[in-house]
Amino acid sequence: MEESGSNFIHDIIEADLKEGRVTNIVTRFPPEPNGYLHIGSAKAIWINYTAAKKYGGKFNLRYDDTNPVKEDDEFVRSIEEDLNWLGAVPTGGIFYGSDYFDKCYEFAEKLIMDKKAFVCDLTQEQMSEYRGTLTEPGKDSPYKNRSVEENLDLFRRMKAGEFADGEKTLRAIIDMSSPNMNMRDPVIYRIIHANHHRQGNKWCIYPMYDFAHPIQDALEGITHSLCSIEFENHRPLYDWVIDNIGFEQKPHQYEFARLNMTYTVMSKRYLRKLVETKTVDGWDDPRMPTLCGLRRRGYTPSAIFEFISRSGVSKTYSMADSGFLEYCICEELNETALRRIAIKEPLKVIITNYPEGKTEYFEMPNHPKKPELGTRSLPFGREIYIERSDFEKEQILGFIRLIPGGEVRLMGAYILKCTNVICGADGEVLSLEGTVDLETRNNKPIDGRKVKGTIHWLSLQHCIDTQIREYNHLFNRENVANLLEDDNFNEFINPDSLVIYENCKAEKALEGAKDGERFQFVRSGYFTPDSKYNGVFNRIAPLKSSYKPE
């Protein structure tokens, strides 16, 4: 992973280093293991990882596993796998928020003893009523004046499991009239009787993220806690926790605009719904914005980070064009992908003037602009396949491929003339007959006639069967995230988000292609073998992106 260029976060870090506020940079990525990472997560990873790398610091992975109801080891494994694939190795180590539960509990008791926290019996609905509004202050809980002794006793009994879920909470004592709603005596502990994926049944009370996160940052020596902009209003509470617990080494939180992208959603809730309703083929469906989905589709870490880097880092909301991500992968694969031939909808052609049983070979470049990548031999015989879309029964304006009586160049081989069209009872073209000009093996016609069209082909006897899947936008609206509700989900699914071509043909050089290899199918697009199903190639992107960079 390349180091990032300068941005406002780097300006902050450089000022902190210059003025001696910090000496060693430590950043972290704190995902909750309740789903799979997506490309928005990749932005947070890239920002934190490259900042630490640029300034010779350390980068931590810390699982935010403070809610046992939604978390699972499956997601823990997938997150680490995604980071390794991206190349963002946690140089500072791998940690779990649950490892700090004892310290969080200890600090919660400290706040109680300092008269800065109390046990509250209000229900969630009652707390919402007491909280007030953006224009009206809240009012104190009737339980706010409990004594230190009573609060400690109740909190310890909460920990011992004496109370039901939601029966009591521990709340910080701050200011119910604060203009910042997050500072109106927020809940810092709640009761959840559930099995934790790492702690089992040791705990039945769990710290809220806003309480646990700053403690975890401080204990790990995080210097710059970099997070998305929705946490900006939580920063005063972050600082309050740090200050009132009394950490000498104080981390600071800085926010950046999260990554939003057209024609998709980043909400884990909606992504999970796509999976649970089987709208998609799992979290790794190539139409999903998840990193495992992008990996299965054939995207590379370098293209993803190029897209993120060039999209910029700021505090301003923006919507990135998904076409730009496609542009970045096309730009990379145009330089790196080996060329191969595959035919989505094969049409058989019998070459009547070519000897039966004869096979000859044509050398094809693996990359037309990189001779150092060598060539491969493509066999040619009496029966070949061409793409059905390369033939029309009648001349159409602008169509320069094969028509009855017309000629085209077979890529790297002979000039082919169509002499006969075999159709079924319904008029469907079943096959073609034709002749080749045997004097035109990699040469121009001797008589000087002009042949405009060039098409690709495969020998019928020397190709393999495969399936080709072309993926398009999953949703049919550009800014779909603002339109989705639980009951209108299917209304915005693009019916053409997946187009499957059965009975495709491919050259034998693609036989045994490995997971992660990427190819340009000539005149078609960029493809990779599917990691889930054998004999399937997924389209990464079309040959040319429709996106035009400024």
Return the active site residues. Answer: 32, 258, 268
CB 212 within 8 A of CB 97: yes
| Burial tier of 195 (Cβ tally within 10 Å: 0-12, 13-18, 19+) | exposed
Q: How many CB atoms lie within 10 A of CB 315?
A: 12
Return the biggest CA–CA distance within the chain. 105
CB 530 within 8 A of CB 469: yes
Residue where the block lists tokens 């995080």: 222
Q: What is the Cα Rg of the chain in Å?
A: 31
Give the C-alpha separation, 255 to 48, whole Å.
12
CB 259 within 8 A of CB 320: yes
In eight-state DSSP terms, residue 38 is B
Q: Which helix (H) or strand (E) holds 215?
A: helix 209-220
Give the C-alpha separation, 165 to 204, whole Å.
9
Q: C-alpha angle with apex 342: 339 to 343, nearest 5 degrees?
A: 145
Q: How many CB atoms lie within 10 A of CB 449?
A: 10
The helix/strand/coil state of 435 is: strand
Q: What are phi and psi of 114, to 5 degrees?
A: -85, 5
